[in-house]
Chains A and B, each alone.
Chain A
Amino acid sequence: MRTMTTTVMTGNEAAATAAKLARVQVVAAYPITPQSPVVETISAWVESGELPAEFVAVESEHSALSVCIGASTVGARAFTATSANGLAYMTEQVWWAAGARLPIVMCIANRAMAAPWNVLNDQQDSMSVRDAGWVQLYCRDNSEILDTTVQAFRIAEECDLPVMVCYDGFLLSHTMMPVDVPDAATVDAFLPPRPAPLQVVDPADPRNVGPVVMAAPRADADGEPHGGYFEIRADHQRALLAAAEAVERANADWAAATGRDWGGLTWDYRLDDADIVLVAAGSLATQLTVAADELRDARIAAGVLGIRCYRPFPADEIAARLAGRALAIVFDKAMSYGYEGPIAGDIKTALFGREEAPRVHGVVCGLGGRDVPVSELVDAVRRAMATPTAGAPAAPSAAIDAASTEWLGLAEKSVS
């Protein structure tokens, strides 16, 4: 009989528990706040024998992901986790893992980037590597962290792509919540051992993995043509686009097995008849549901569109959900400095040229763990509603940057 146990745990414990349930074979990680408890927990399980895996206590994040790359190359299921500067430090390998098409799963306890130092939450770290070719999933609570991390291994191994599972530092990583922990049989049925149809490292069938590749196609010794760098990159793009379906399927199969449906690529709240749509990724979107309730109480037809899968970007699904609405307000916990919030920019691109597209107003908030009270979210919505030009093309630049992004709760004196 399959059982589910409800346990109260932090987001980090949920991530570690998922890695254990996924029967990871090699884990390498380096401590950084707020991710450290993931490493500590897994190393304790490996030491006690509770998790029969290799734990490599590396000397840096660059090496953490390098170890995962090596292990994954020879067919092992590999896992790591990091935050902020740790992710930035391993950026070279973030690209390598994706380009080498390795199904590594990495949890990111989202944290602000230095300088100046700040260990609290925003999403600048993972947003800064959105272009590297990983699948990126954002979680809204600890149960979703556990479920999504298990799903991530299946998505990764189905698509030959690495998957980043992002959850907000402290807000989720260190907050205790009840989490439904599935039993091993449920997870084993959902996630079979890593398939290894092609063993690329085999002395009996030697191959050179990841060598220099010319831009153009080139023939092998038998005259058979093979794609060049350009074709390899196009394959990568195709795989990432196709991963959207794998994300949806993993969610649907998991829902069938456990009864928990996290919505696949996006999720929504009171959206059906909403004129005003509040958009965000992660726990901020959960907070937006509270703001939507308040607005509804005040007879404002607000709803929430939560982004669960940010890469591949579900542009069609988002455009369909937003069609016919008056206004979308996108709350970003990151900036593409010199332009605007990354999600806001992507949504504008997704809507470009579509019929019935709403205006899109960008709001950046919560950087460096700056408190985002529901009241401020509600005020931001009211302000945007009262400003007919908010989110309109060529809105006058009342705010501090070119794309008219509003900085929520910014103090008058912003330069110290």
Chain B
Amino acid sequence: MTRITDLPDTGHVLPGNRACAGCPLGIALRRITAALDGRMVLVNPASCLTVLGGMYPISSLAIPWVNCAFPSTAATASGIAAGLRATGRADEMTVVAMAGDGGTADIGIQALSGAAERNEDFIYICYDNEAYMNTGTQRSGSTPHGARTTTTWSGKRENPKDVLAIVEAHDVGYVASASAVFPEDLHDKIVAANGRAGLRYVHMNLPCPSGWGFDPKDSVRYGRLAVDAGLVALYEVADGVFRLTGRSAALAKSGLKASVAEYMAGQSRFRGVSEETIAEVQEWVDDRWSGLVARHEAGV
């Protein structure tokens, strides 16, 4: 794994943007743009990322950026990839689609499924802040069980959908989970994805101080807790070979270092969550985690 001192900084993320204080989206973008050395075009639907990008005529990133309609990310990216091929420019840049969990798991899943089935040539990164943040923290298909949102006032009753499993089921060559607060792991995965063709999918956890209800200084802390508690597992599946990576690979040996209750404590979205719900989520996490460890050991 690349060491943190060896991570490149290419300056494509300009100083200052419109995201909330403490938002780790900027960390992630710095890693993604640097891993690709800015030779990319970012395709982005309505989301917090749009807001981060700034308002015309000012942009917060020095990379080509194409905004697109909310449900259309994977289709617009397919069109950009096709257009670059048709005009002989495919080698000039990597097409990177980047959408939120709502834009991916919900309204954009049809276009994503179509593009994955056609094995379109681009990297799709879903940054998962676990709700529709841009429109005021409404539930998404990726909101965790127990979380309060402005459309689940007493806590969401369902578990989140496993978009990684959904995309993997399309038989694409590369899927990976990542976290915005594990920059070395994220860097390696973007580099790995960029080294291949076809549809590559990266699902990136993004702790959100505003929507989850914690102090902006604690974004990295909650991102790490999510991994330590097994709610987020860092892994990749490359050509059918499964492996846990980074911190999650270490946790596969040592056992998980945190509980769901510890993770939830201190996030206001889980305020008042019942013991019963915590136990249910813990059981769900344990189940999922042991399945992933088993896959890691089997390598498939």
Interface residues of A (CB under 8 A from B): 25-26, 28, 53-54, 56-60, 62-64, 66-76, 78, 92-93, 96, 200-203, 206-214, 218-221, 224, 226
What residues on A are CB-neighbors of B71 within 8 Å?
Answer: 62, 92
Tell me the complex Cα distance, A112–B137, Å. 39
Interface 9-residue window, one of B47-55, B195-203, B239-247, B278-286? B47-55
Asked whether A70 lies within 8 Å of B110 as measured between CB atoms, the reply is no
Asked whether A70 lies within 8 Å of B75 as measured between CB atoms, the reply is yes
Asked whether B56 lies within 8 Å of A70 as measured between CB atoms, the reply is no
Asked whether B111 lies within 8 Å of A26 as measured between CB atoms, the reply is no
Given contacts A60-B114, A70-B43, A211-B55, are A93 and B69 in contact (CB under 8 A)?
yes
Interface 9-residue window, one of B78-86, B219-227, B260-268, B288-296? B78-86
Known: A212-B54, A212-B56. 19 other contacts (CB 8 A): A26-B82, A26-B83, A28-B82, A54-B83, A59-B113, A62-B72, A62-B75, A63-B110, A66-B72, A67-B75, A69-B72, A70-B43, A70-B66, A70-B79, A96-B69, A96-B72, A219-B57, A220-B57, A221-B58
Q: Which of B75-119 contact A (CB under 8 A)?
A: 75-87, 89, 92-93, 110-111, 113-114, 117-118
Asked whether A212 lies within 8 Å of B50 as measured between CB atoms, the reply is yes
Tell me the complex Cα distance, A350–B63, Å. 47
Nearest-Cβ distance from residue A80 to partner chain B, whole angstroms: 10
What residues on B are CB-neighbors of A70 within 8 Å?
Answer: 43, 66, 68, 75-83
What residues on B are CB-neighbors of A75 within 8 Å?
Answer: 83, 87
Query: B145 at the A/B interface (Cβ < 8 Å)?
Result: no
Asked whether A208 lies within 8 Å of B56 as measured between CB atoms, the reply is yes
Query: B272 at the A/B interface (Cβ < 8 Å)?
Result: no
What residues on B are CB-neighbors of A53 within 8 Å?
Answer: 86
Query: B62 at the A/B interface (Cβ < 8 Å)?
Result: yes
Asked whether A208 lies within 8 Å of B67 as measured between CB atoms, the reply is yes
Tell me the complex Cα distance, A67–B43, Å. 12
Return the CB mask of B214-232 against A: 1 if under 8 Å, else 0: 0000000000000000000
Q: Which of B25-77 contact A (CB under 8 A)?
A: 38-41, 43, 50-51, 53-59, 61-69, 71-72, 74-77
Nearest-Cβ distance from residue B50 to partner chain A, whole angstroms: 6
Asked whether B118 lies within 8 Å of A218 as measured between CB atoms, the reply is no
Query: In the complex, how many residue pairs between chain A and chain B have their CB atoms under 8 Å apart?
Result: 176
Given contacts A56-B78, A70-B77, A71-B86, are A63 and B62 in contact (CB under 8 A)?
no
What are 15 contact pairs spanning A and B, CB under 8 A? Answer: A25-B86, A56-B78, A59-B114, A60-B114, A67-B76, A70-B77, A70-B78, A71-B79, A96-B72, A201-B66, A203-B63, A207-B64, A208-B67, A211-B53, A219-B57
Tell me the complex Cα distance, A202–B62, Å. 11
Q: Which 9 A-B pairs have the closest CB atoms?
A: A70-B79, A59-B114, A71-B83, A66-B75, A63-B75, A67-B79, A76-B83, A25-B86, A210-B67
Most chain A CB inside 10 Å of its own CB: which residue of B40, B69, B85: B69
What residues on B are CB-neighbors of A72 within 8 Å?
Answer: 79, 83
Most chain A CB inside 10 Å of its own CB: which residue of B38, B54, B79, B85: B79
Tell me the complex Cα distance, A72–B43, Å. 14
Asked whether A214 lies within 8 Å of B69 as measured between CB atoms, the reply is no
What residues on B are CB-neighbors of A203 within 8 Å?
Answer: 38-41, 63-64, 92-93
Interface residues of B (CB under 8 A from A): 38-41, 43, 50-51, 53-59, 61-69, 71-72, 74-87, 89, 92-93, 110-111, 113-114, 117-118
Asked whether B65 lies within 8 Å of A60 as measured between CB atoms, the reply is no
Asked whether A59 lies within 8 Å of B111 as measured between CB atoms, the reply is yes
Tell me the complex Cα distance, A26–B178, Å. 34
Asked whether A208 lies within 8 Å of B80 as measured between CB atoms, the reply is no
Nearest-Cβ distance from residue A64 to partner chain B, whole angstroms: 8
What residues on A are CB-neighbors of B110 within 8 Å?
Answer: 59-60, 62-63
What residues on B are CB-neighbors of A201 within 8 Å?
Answer: 41, 64, 66, 80, 93
Name the residue on B nearest A30 (C-beta). B114
What residues on A are CB-neighbors of B57 within 8 Å?
Answer: 218-220, 224, 226
What residues on B are CB-neighbors of A220 within 8 Å?
Answer: 57-58
Tell me the complex Cα distance, A71–B93, Å. 14
Asked whether B55 lies within 8 Å of A213 as measured between CB atoms, the reply is yes
Asked whether B111 lies within 8 Å of A78 as measured between CB atoms, the reply is no
Name the residue on B nearest A74 (C-beta). B83
What residues on A are CB-neighbors of B50 within 8 Å?
Answer: 211-212
Asked whether B56 lies within 8 Å of A211 as measured between CB atoms, the reply is yes
What residues on A are CB-neighbors of B65 within 8 Å?
Answer: 206-209, 211
Tell me the complex Cα distance, A214–B67, Å. 15
Name the residue on A nearest B82 (C-beta). A54
What residues on A are CB-neighbors of B89 within 8 Å?
Answer: 74
Asked whether A226 lies within 8 Å of B118 as measured between CB atoms, the reply is no
Asked whether B72 lies within 8 Å of A73 as measured between CB atoms, the reply is no
What residues on B are CB-neighbors of A26 within 8 Å?
Answer: 79, 82-83, 86
Tell me the complex Cα distance, A221–B66, Å. 20
Tell me the complex Cα distance, A54–B57, Å. 33
What residues on A are CB-neighbors of B117 within 8 Å?
Answer: 59
